[in-house]
Amino acid sequence: MSPELLFQQALNGLSFGALLFILAAGLSLVFGMMDVVNLAHGAFYMLGAYVALTVVQFTGSFWLALAAAPVALGALGLAIEPLLLRHLRGRHLDQVLLTIGVSLVIVDQIGLIWGREVRSLPFPPGLDGTVVLIGGVYPVYRLFVIAFGVALAAVIAVIYRRTKLGMLIRAGVEDAEMLGALGVNTDRLFALTFAVGAALAGLAGVIAAPVFGLQPGMDVDALLYSLVVVVVGGLGTLGGAVAGSVLVGPVDTFGKVLFQEFALAVIFAIVALVLLFKPTGLLGRIRIAR
């Protein structure tokens, strides 16, 4: 591999990692706080992308779509938690079945509303060009994705460490029941958490759409990758989501360049290695494997 190509692939890997972070942050938060593995997370991502498609069709504004999709998905999450999920608290198998059911319904409705053919979302104006970097041309949008992921991580970190809400989140991830005994309405906190998780999935869907397009099956890909990131990085911590994304993004990108269709095996080898030597994930506190 030439140095130029190496550099380009490294940037691609980081860009993919940044996207994975946006995607996995919500899944990790919901798991950490509510002890729920939300298998509808990929469907939320997909719906975010299609909502963006429609917003762009009607208004022509990518930026409006980038704001509207998370709001729409947040509202959906805010409805699903109290109506459905809340009644299954502590019942893990039932939660798995429910969230699979929710994702099937969402994907089916997307097929009915938007059709099943491959669609694409144009790059936002101003970010559709290329720049020359170390002897090669590079798409500006991918640099934007990196910057967006880093900025989002910084914002989330500040909320986590510096605000009352962040304090509640950190405490709730550790022991939500105890938080209830201190007078915190954990029902409301859980609904809000689930809404934020869904909104982040929707946000990731919009960010990803110009690069990867919109098509059936994108929900499953997104779910798989976000599960891998969360397991590798460690469940339920912000640092874990960052570490997992920064590792999985580049590994997957280089895996695809070097091993083509065997790239997935590389990813699962990483998962196996991490779980073997660090059963909590890189930065997690909760043991995933025995």
Partner 1 sequence: MSAPALEVQDLHAYYGESHVLQGVDLVVRPGEAVALIGRNGAGKTTTISAIAGFLRPRQGTVRINGRNLTGAPAHWVARAGVALVPQGRRIFGDLSVRENLAIAGRPAANGWDEARVVELFPSLGRRLGLRGDQLSGGEQQMLAVGRALMRNPSLLLLDEPSEGLAPMLVEEVGETLVRLRATGLPLLLVEQNLGLATRVGQRVHVMNKGTIVFTGTPVELAAARDVEARYLGV
Give me the least distance between CB of 164 and partner 1, in Å please: 8
Residue nearer to partner 1 on the CB measure, 90 or 117: 90
Q: Is there a contact between 194 and 203 (Cβ–Cβ < 8 Å)?
A: no
Give me the least distance between CB of 181 and partner 1, in Å please: 5
| C-alpha span between 26 and 12 (Å, rounded) | 22
Single-letter amino acid, residue 231: V
| C-alpha span between 104 and 161 (Å, rounded) | 36
Give me the least distance between CB of 282 and partner 1, in Å please: 17
Contacts of 101 (CB under 8 A, 6+ apart): none
Residue nearer to partner 1 on the CB measure, 112 or 182: 182
Give me the least distance between CB of 166 and partner 1, in Å please: 10
Q: Specify the length of the chain in residues.
A: 290
Q: Is there a contact between 209 and 119 (Cβ–Cβ < 8 Å)?
A: no
Residue nearer to partner 1 on the CB measure, 11 or 168: 168
Terminus-to-terminus CA distance in the chain, angstroms? Answer: 39
Residue nearer to partner 1 on the CB measure, 18 or 173: 173
Contacts of 139 (CB under 8 A, 6+ apart): 129, 130
| C-alpha span between 209 and 259 (Å, rounded) | 25
Residue nearer to partner 1 on the CB measure, 40 or 192: 192
Give me the least distance between CB of 173 and partner 1, in Å please: 8
99: three-class secondary structure by DSSP: helix
The residue ranges that bind partner 1 (CB under 8 A) are 167-168, 170-171, 173-175, 177-187
Residue nearer to partner 1 on the CB measure, 116 or 161: 161
Instruction: Identify the residue whose tokens are 């025995």.
Output: 290
Give me the least distance between CB of 36 and partner 1, in Å please: 18
